Chain A
Amino acid sequence: MSNASLERGIHAFKEVIDAPVASFFSSCVRCGLCAHACLFYTETGDPKYTPIHKLEPLRRIWQQEYSFWGRFAKALGLSKPVTDDLLTEWETLVYDSCTMCGRCSMICPVGNDIAYMIRKIREGMAAAGHAPPGLIGATQRAVTIGSPMGVKLPALQAQIRHTEQETGLTIPVDVEGVEYLLLLSSMEIMNFPEFIAAIAKIFKHAGVSWTISSEAFEATNSGIQIGVSEIAAELVERIVAAAEKLKVKGVISPECGHAYMAIRWEGPNLIGRPFNFKVVHILELLDELREQGRLKTTSKETQRLTYHDPCQISRRGGVVKQPRNLLNMVAEDFVEMPETGTMNWCCGAGGGVSSNERADELRLKVFNRKKQQLDAIRPDAIVSACSNCRIHLEDGLEEYNMDMPVLSLTETIAEHLAGSDQTGSKQS
């Protein structure tokens, strides 16, 4: 991010182009279907938000560097170059109007994985100095402080003490040889610290041995969002080092979308070697416990609930059935959104969009898509499993005068645990 220049940006664009990218650009027939998959287009009607269009700078580099005819045309001076001006123009398309939700990738008739390419184009944009300031700040804090929001260990320790007082349970820190290392997103530590209490209760109930690491507690990976793989790799290395030091069997990714994508799917590829521990999303683990009969719940939510699929966990992450299994345990009236599961609509705030104040107006405008989904089924409350989706859903509901709470799935499970031996837990 320091030494940003157009030259470095173009070099990064070249580096990220692989066979899939080349096949995608070769196959695009400009049918425009991807626009209809993207809430940034459907809610604004502005064709510049067409997903494949957001990739124009990368497409030009592909054509001019990796196709015979394109190289020939470039040599003759017939091709349109990638300039700083072009990247300035594209910055808002690549960062403000895309969450890498991947819905376009599910719909393109020729099979283009556009979100895959957005992740890659950000590498070039960032290297050329064209990333939003909010994201740059977050990434710098992540590297120097260990958290994109500047959460330091004493703050986490204060939250832990509070949780211990509230629950009467000890929160294990730096315990070796346990089954799982729990990561936490700064969003959870700052805005939804009750998540820690929920985990503590559930794990005591189910008999899971776990710990937090004082050296690597952060789940969020800003490197992924801004598109700087070296930084993303460094953040992953910290977690790997902690997991290996504590000799855990698995690492748990909490309720944060991009954190899961970063550690579960990108992690080993970023650092260039497989992990010698498992990575699970908290929902995967909870569902495993449910299957093993170690998660006993009592009483059910009677209010009409629906589930918002966080894109990076569901469509891009593959954790689709588990939240539904868990919700069916604790909900009497669970109704799916129209277009659900891997085809659910993005909340509009992931992938760095909510960190970017410049994108606020657009982000709230496109929430209208989620609103329409909710209007169709009229739930009493929304359940989800990503802190960023959660806060943004709350913001959007407020903006559109819709009165319904947004609940965390993990916290909801914790509320319904059977057994009355925990201080503060609901009596059954």
Chain B
Amino acid sequence: MTEVTNDAEFRKALDSLDATRQRLVAARFVENVVALCSDKRIARVIQVASDSEAGEEELAEALKAARATTFDCHTRCGSEGDWSEQAGYFVARAATAALTPMAQMPSGPAWQAALSSRMAQTSRSIVTGDDTSGQEVIQQYRILSEFLDS
């Protein structure tokens, strides 16, 4: 079993994946935090992102939906922020990253999806007061390890 135990290994492994595999593993990261987003569109977006056979048009539609969700969930400048809503914003950003072509995201869509998913947990923890973001990281290592072995 491939063991990923730290972020350096994590990132290196992600960077070595091709575009489709980055999308698939990214979709799993997002799925892990999807409960934090109240917007119904994300479920469908993740479904498409998780489909290795998904066509270009379908992916483009899903990306559009993810971006729209991101914008709708964000806290607009000057309005009162709600961190549980912001968790949903980060989930949507993770979904957007998962579907963004690699050329547009040189830092790596899967890595960005992982970061945004962690941010979603951090946002939730601001509300609840307990810091579970460390757990999310470990779960992501496990998800990646399982993915690499499959």
Contact = CB atoms under 8 A, between A and B. Distances in A.
Is A–B contact present in the complex under a CB 8 A cutoff? yes
Interface of A: 134-135, 137-138, 141, 148-151, 154-155, 158-159, 161-162, 165-166, 168, 186-187, 190-191, 193-194, 220, 222, 225, 301, 303, 349, 352, 354-355, 357, 380-381, 387-388, 391, 394-395, 398, 403-405, 415, 423-424, 426-427
Name the residue in A141, A155, A225, A404 with the highest tally of chain B Cβ atoms < 10 Å from its Cβ: A155
Contacts of A301: 106
In the complex, the 4 A-B pairs of residues with the closest C-beta atoms, listed nearest first: A355-B78, A138-B78, A149-B81, A162-B122
Given A159-B122, A162-B119, A352 B78 contact: yes
Given A149-B77, A191-B86, 20 more contacts: A134-B79, A148-B77, A151-B81, A158-B125, A158-B131, A166-B118, A186-B77, A186-B81, A190-B74, A190-B86, A191-B75, A220-B78, A303-B103, A355-B76, A355-B77, A380-B104, A391-B71, A423-B7, A427-B12, A427-B15
A165 B75 contact: no
Contacts of B74: 190-191, 391
Given A166-B7, A405-B100, A394 B71 contact: yes
A405 B105 contact: yes
Interface in B59-88: 60, 64, 67-68, 70-71, 74-81, 83, 86
B67 A424 contact: no
Given A158-B125, A168-B7, A426 B75 contact: no
B36 interface: no
A161 B131 contact: yes
Contact of B80 (A137, A158, A398, A403): A137
Nearest to B112: A194
A1 to B, nearest CB: 14
Question: Size class of B's contact patch?
Answer: 35 or more
B78 A222 contact: yes
B133 interface: yes
B17 interface: no
B79 A149 contact: yes
Nearest to A391: B74
Contacts of A137: 78-80
B21 interface: no
A161 B133 contact: yes
A349 B78 CA distance: 12
Contacts of A357: 76
Name the residue in A141, A149, A352, A405 with the highest tally of chain B Cβ atoms < 10 Å from its Cβ: A149
Interface string B1-42: 000001110011001000000000000000000000000000
Contacts, number: 111
A155 B83 contact: yes
Given A159-B122, A165-B134, A415-B106, A391 B67 contact: no
Contacts of A380: 103-104
Contacts of A165: 118, 133-134, 137
Contacts of A134: 78-79
Contacts of B67: 394, 398
Contacts of A403: 60
B89 interface: yes
A405 B83 contact: no
Nearest to A380: B104
B126 interface: yes
Nearest to B15: A427
B71 to A, nearest CB: 5
A415 B122 contact: no
Nearest to A350: B77
B47 interface: no
A190 B12 contact: no
A190 B105 CA distance: 21
Contacts of B115: 166, 194
B139 interface: no
A190 B81 contact: yes
A190 B126 CA distance: 11
A40 B137 CA distance: 46
Given A161-B133, A427-B15, A193 B119 contact: yes
Contacts of B137: 165
A331 to B, nearest CB: 12
Contacts of B12: 427
Nearest to B133: A162
Nearest to B100: A405
Nearest to B103: A303
A303 B106 CA distance: 9
Nearest to A355: B78
B131 A423 contact: no
A269 to B, nearest CB: 23
12 contacts: A135-B78, A148-B77, A155-B126, A158-B122, A165-B118, A165-B134, A166-B115, A191-B75, A191-B86, A303-B104, A403-B60, A426-B107
B140 to A, nearest CB: 12
Contacts of B119: 162, 193
